[in-house]
Structure 1
Amino acid sequence: METDSLEVTNIWATRHDSRSVAAPILLEIEELATSFNSFVICHIVRSANGPAHICAKHACTINMTESWIDSTPSLLINSLLANCSASAFIQ
């Protein structure tokens, strides 16, 4: 899993000794991840994860739960298209 939160990455690395309020959540994730052959959390820069950043910003602005089961929101389509266009120039 990639995250642009260095704090989450660091807590993951020390989750067994961490006193962070997030540590129990990461321990639960670790338990769920046992069904995979491999599971790693690594840090990436925010600019490399544009669509996820846009989704997180959107989630912080809404006052209710949104469900995208039967449709794809335009903010996600636009951010993915922009991300694909930007990565097309990376060689």
Structure 2
Amino acid sequence: METDCLEMVQLWHSRRFSRSIVAPLLLEIDELALCFLSFDIQHVIRSANMPAHLCVKHASTLGVTDCWMDSSPSFLMTSVMADRVGAIVVE
């Protein structure tokens, strides 16, 4: 898993000894990760993770839950398309 939140990566690596409020969630993720052959959380720069950053930014402005079942959110589509083009160029 990749995140642009360096603090989350640091918490992940110290999850067994952490007294952070998110420690129980990290330990639960750790248990679920046993279903995979390999699992790690890595830091990436924000520009390499723009679609995820836009989702978090959008969510932080909402007062209610927002759900997209049959449509793609317009604020995200440009970034996803640019991310896709960048992935094709790199391959």
- TM interval, shorter chain, is 0.7 to 0.9
**Shift in Å, 1:38:** 1.0
Q: Which runs of 4+ in 1 moved over 4 A?
A: 85-91
What percent of counterpart residues are identical? Answer: 51
The size of the alignment, in residue pairs, is 91
Unaligned residue ranges in structure 1 (runs of 5+): none
Question: Which residue does the alignment assign to 2:3?
Answer: 3
Question: Which residue does the alignment assign to 1:61?
Answer: 61
Matched residue of 2:9: which SS?
helix
* d(CA) in 2 for partners of 1:43, 1:19: 21
Which residue identity lines up with residue 58 of structure 2 in the other structure?
H
Judged with a 3 Å threshold, the aligned counterparts in structure 2 of structure 1 residues 89 and 35 are, in CA distance, closer, same or farther, namely closer
- TM-score, structure 1 length as denominator? 0.88
**Shift in Å, 1:84:** 3.5
* d(CA) in 2 for partners of 1:41, 1:89: 25
Unaligned residue ranges in structure 2 (runs of 5+): none
* d(CA) in 2 for partners of 1:79, 1:32: 30
* d(CA) in 1 for partners of 2:37, 2:74: 34
**Shift in Å, 1:74:** 1.1
**Shift in Å, 1:86:** 5.1
- TM-score, structure 2 length as denominator? 0.88
The residue correspondences of 1:66-77 to structure 2 (distance < 5 A) are: 66-77=66-77
Question: Which residue does the alignment assign to 1:19?
Answer: 19
